[in-house]
A and B are shown apart, each in its own frame.
Chain A
């Protein structure tokens, strides 16, 4: 690849990804690559049209996820139950840089597309395999969803308040985390290949991606015993460090503000902003340690102030004075957030029918490779002509033969 191809605003121009991934984690990983100019060819199937994020997502939310995780990609339909479908996939492997998949461990080998086989086709290929538990080890054949992994990792039990059921993460944190890990692994491999010419196999276990965010827990348990993590802490820090530290109810229905105070100086300013209420003089709140010890009482007092105000007003008052505070924003708040608006976080992009769809941007601004997405998710099998004719150079007869054989069904 010559340097000229990179004198542009996308870091991954010239990279082609053959993308078998579906649902959430895999597509969100390859969307990160697509944003930066990689040509991502989504291999889809008539058999999975209506899965979450599939081309015929049944719900409005599913349609949103279709666009959010697949914006900018191409789509082809291949029936991998036919020899012709598998043959086309193998020819695409030969002209791709990355093959991505998040099936259970049996699927790719059953198509003759395990790493050793695809490496025989394309020696410098990078294969990204994303799975719940990884492709080795005693649990390699176990089945999981995002929530299963959140439970298995410990996140579910750890998240929530001490005296209620654990809540675990809302939504599929493990899929979002797995998607980030998948993109990271692929990028590491691309850097490695650019420097050495060598491809490799990337085995991403979502259980491990998620567990790697449990911070010091493994160290803590191993050296301090089981008591190290015996309870949930709600919105407080498990190892202390600040009070008040929580979400406080504000005026309105289910409106909250997050406030964190760590130092004595921040506390002094916080008390001033509240108008120097008499309770703040209590010895129980005189020092940072005392405030932490008496955090329950402190939280009640703080909420007696916040409840009288709109959450946005509490944020503005405290931020003006230099105390970290923020509205606990809803989906509606985010879509109107002036900060996100100014930075263009939400983008409206046209889909192939010409309808505008709202998608999230990458949460970073890169000065030289800004990497803009300009279109929504593809329609199902929208790019057959480009992929079969232009990319693979298939003839009319070949395409017709494959169609009759059911390779595109």
Chain B
């Protein structure tokens, strides 16, 4: 599939087709805007004249910075349109208010009070637009003693309780690869926006949504809160061993493999294989019959035996044996193997798209779910700065060519690109 630039008008309508979203988000919410855009919403990225700072985020195509070469920008802005607008000026703010009258959703990540200070807060916009869904994503939320605290992805991950349990006992608490606190905030914001859009579809009513990155992370840790709240003991770091439980990853001959002995059958198949290799030690004895024994008091002894045995085998041998018996065993893929994954290609999750401006073709990931009513989400690659100024300002707002020209002199285009060292308000990480 090669579909750079504008979408074709054919094809099924996405579930969000017809909804317009104003995306004023930085890195904490940029993924939320992508999720909305990929499902058919008309997401208009509002950028400062000269372009959003995220256009300069690494990595770059062929390692070279330059317009249209930030893979970060290309990935997180698929299917969006772009309008350049200085919302800090009164003319820019007035224009945004006009565009907002035609919008269904506004998404922003400024510090609490920032949008209000521009006259663009929920209260001032919703007065003329009661159906507006207005989502603010911030590090700690709009209320509470930490509401003005700053946070990067790392700080959000730490304060949400996921970092403390990630890593090994002998390493510092560890971040997940990627800005997962930001993306979790985006994922949660997206859920809230979809709830609000459903409510709006049924009632016509909009509402205000206040998303806290800290809470988003805290609600995504699986076991951290339930362990403490129900046992009184904090969960600790245990790498990929999960506390000597029956869900574990092991080093093997050519890397690492995950061997989950979630059932008695899986445990019996594992120790029988170890036994055939002469590596089972005393594990065939009846005292080890219960597959939960792996998290009992002899766990260290058992782990030691499994680890020694695992070094005899490759990831593929372990995977094929386990899967042939319907056990959830599999390899730890190295990153460069991701593009060789036949399942991700086979389902059309990965697609190759030509770049805008004739750059190299690239492999794009797909969406996190497959909808039978809307199978092909990437309609347009990420926009150039202000690419849709005319379409939006004259097409939607009905500005005349003269008015457009005046704006070009003023607050829309024509202003030299500013130094991009300063992060946008409330955004401190440059992933």
Whether B163 contacts A328 by the Cβ 8 Å rule is: yes
Is A68 interfacial (CB-CB < 8 Å)?
yes
The residue that A263 contacts in the complex, of B59, B141, B322, B421, with Cβ under 8 A, is B421
Whether A218 contacts B364 by the Cβ 8 Å rule is: yes
The residue that A145 contacts in the complex, of B57, B192, B247, B350, with Cβ under 8 A, is B247
Report the bound CA distance from A43 to B179 in whole Å. Answer: 36
Whether A170 contacts B165 by the Cβ 8 Å rule is: yes
User: Per-position contact with B for A238-265: 1 when CB-CB < 8 Å, else 0?
Assistant: 1111100111110000001111101100
Whether A156 contacts B164 by the Cβ 8 Å rule is: no
What residues on A are CB-neighbors of B79 within 8 Å?
none
Q: With A151-B249, A365-B209 in contact, do A260 and B154 touch (Cβ < 8 Å)?
A: yes
Q: Closest CB-CB distance, A1 to chain B, in whole Å?
A: 7
Q: Identify the stretch in A87-95, A131-139, A382-390 within 8 Å (CB) of chain B at 4 or more residues.
A: A131-139
User: Which residues of chain B from 252 to 267 have any CB-CB distance to chain A below 8 Å in the complex?
Assistant: 255-258, 260, 262
Is A323 interfacial (CB-CB < 8 Å)?
yes
Whether B171 contacts A366 by the Cβ 8 Å rule is: no
Q: With A7-B203, A176-B221 in contact, do A326 and B337 touch (Cβ < 8 Å)?
A: no
What residues on A are CB-neighbors of B338 within 8 Å?
153-154, 211, 214, 217-218, 221
CB nearest neighbor in A for B235:
A331
Known: A32-B191, A189-B373, A248-B172. 19 other contacts (CB 8 A): A64-B225, A134-B343, A147-B247, A151-B331, A159-B177, A171-B235, A184-B35, A194-B201, A202-B369, A208-B347, A208-B366, A213-B178, A228-B59, A241-B431, A332-B234, A339-B145, A362-B192, A363-B188, A365-B142
Whether B429 contacts A6 by the Cβ 8 Å rule is: no
Is B194 interfacial (CB-CB < 8 Å)?
yes
Whether A11 contacts B174 by the Cβ 8 Å rule is: no
What residues on A are CB-neighbors of B251 within 8 Å?
165
What residues on B are CB-neighbors of A323 within 8 Å?
150
Q: Closest CB-CB distance, B259 to chain A, in whole Å?
A: 9
What residues on A are CB-neighbors of B374 within 8 Å?
192
The residue that B196 contacts in the complex, of A215, A343, A366, with Cβ under 8 A, is A366
CB nearest neighbor in A for B220:
A176
Whether A325 contacts B155 by the Cβ 8 Å rule is: yes
Whether A260 contacts B256 by the Cβ 8 Å rule is: no
Whether A364 contacts B369 by the Cβ 8 Å rule is: no
What residues on B are CB-neighbors of A159 within 8 Å?
166, 174-177
User: Which residues of chain B from 317 to 376 have any CB-CB distance to chain A below 8 Å in the complex?
Assistant: 322-323, 326-339, 341-344, 346-347, 349-350, 352, 360-374
What residues on A are CB-neighbors of B346 within 8 Å?
136-139
Is B222 interfacial (CB-CB < 8 Å)?
yes
Whether B209 contacts A151 by the Cβ 8 Å rule is: no
Closest 10 pairs (CB-CB, A-B) = A331-B228, A64-B226, A363-B215, A64-B230, A229-B335, A239-B58, A158-B177, A258-B158, A368-B207, A222-B363
Is B87 interfacial (CB-CB < 8 Å)?
no
What residues on B are CB-neighbors of A366 within 8 Å?
192, 195-196, 207-210
Among B327, B334, B335, the most chain A Cβ lie within 10 Å of the Cβ of: B335
Report the bound CA distance from A327 to B206 in whole Å. Answer: 36
Is B410 interfacial (CB-CB < 8 Å)?
no
Whether B240 contacts A3 by the Cβ 8 Å rule is: no
Is A185 interfacial (CB-CB < 8 Å)?
yes
Report the bound CA distance from A365 to B142 in whole Å. Answer: 9
Q: Closest CB-CB distance, A379 to chain B, in whole Å?
A: 17
Whether A258 contacts B163 by the Cβ 8 Å rule is: yes
Report the bound CA distance from A335 to B173 in whole Å. Answer: 19
Q: Closest CB-CB distance, B67 to chain A, in whole Å?
A: 16
Q: List 14 A-B contacts (CB under 8 A).
A: A36-B195, A136-B346, A145-B262, A152-B332, A170-B238, A172-B222, A181-B369, A200-B372, A213-B183, A219-B75, A358-B229, A363-B219, A364-B216, A367-B207
User: Per-position contact with B for A252-281: 1 when CB-CB < 8 Å, else 0?
Assistant: 000011111011001000000000000000
Q: With A167-B239, A191-B201 in contact, do A160 and B331 touch (Cβ < 8 Å)?
A: no
Whether A256 contacts B371 by the Cβ 8 Å rule is: no
User: Which residues of chain A from 303 to 323 have any CB-CB distance to chain B below 8 Å in the complex?
Assistant: 319, 322-323
The residue that B256 contacts in the complex, of A156, A201, A217, with Cβ under 8 A, is A156
Q: Closest CB-CB distance, B37 to chain A, in whole Å?
A: 13
Q: Closest CB-CB distance, B400 to chain A, in whole Å?
A: 34
Report the bound CA distance from A107 to B222 in whole Å. Answer: 26
Report the bound CA distance from A139 to B342 in whole Å. Answer: 8
Whether B326 contacts A151 by the Cβ 8 Å rule is: no
Chain A binding surface, main DSSP class = mixed
Is A406 interfacial (CB-CB < 8 Å)?
no
Whether B166 contacts A170 by the Cβ 8 Å rule is: yes
Q: Closest CB-CB distance, B40 to chain A, in whole Å?
A: 9
User: Which residues of chain B from 143 to 173 have any CB-CB distance to chain A below 8 Å in the complex?
Assistant: 143-147, 149-152, 154-168, 170-173
Q: With A152-B333, A329-B161, A334-B228 in contact, do A249 and B328 touch (Cβ < 8 Å)?
A: no
Is B25 interfacial (CB-CB < 8 Å)?
no
Whether B429 contacts A161 by the Cβ 8 Å rule is: no
Whether B59 contacts A216 by the Cβ 8 Å rule is: yes
Q: Closest CB-CB distance, A114 to chain B, in whole Å?
A: 13
Is B418 interfacial (CB-CB < 8 Å)?
no
Whether B225 contacts A166 by the Cβ 8 Å rule is: no
Is B218 interfacial (CB-CB < 8 Å)?
yes
Report the bound CA distance from A65 to B57 in whole Å. Answer: 39
Is B278 interfacial (CB-CB < 8 Å)?
no
The residue that B16 contacts in the complex, of A7, A104, A188, with Cβ under 8 A, is A188
Whether B159 contacts A223 by the Cβ 8 Å rule is: no
Whether B179 contacts A215 by the Cβ 8 Å rule is: yes
Whether A142 contacts B163 by the Cβ 8 Å rule is: no
Whether A256 contacts B239 by the Cβ 8 Å rule is: no
Q: With A136-B347, A156-B332, A241-B431 in contact, do A166 and B256 touch (Cβ < 8 Å)?
A: yes
CB nearest neighbor in B for A209:
B368
Is B301 interfacial (CB-CB < 8 Å)?
no
Q: With A138-B342, A241-B431 in contact, do A218 and B365 touch (Cβ < 8 Å)?
A: yes
Q: Closest CB-CB distance, B304 to chain A, in whole Å?
A: 15
Q: Closest CB-CB distance, A246 to chain B, in whole Å?
A: 7
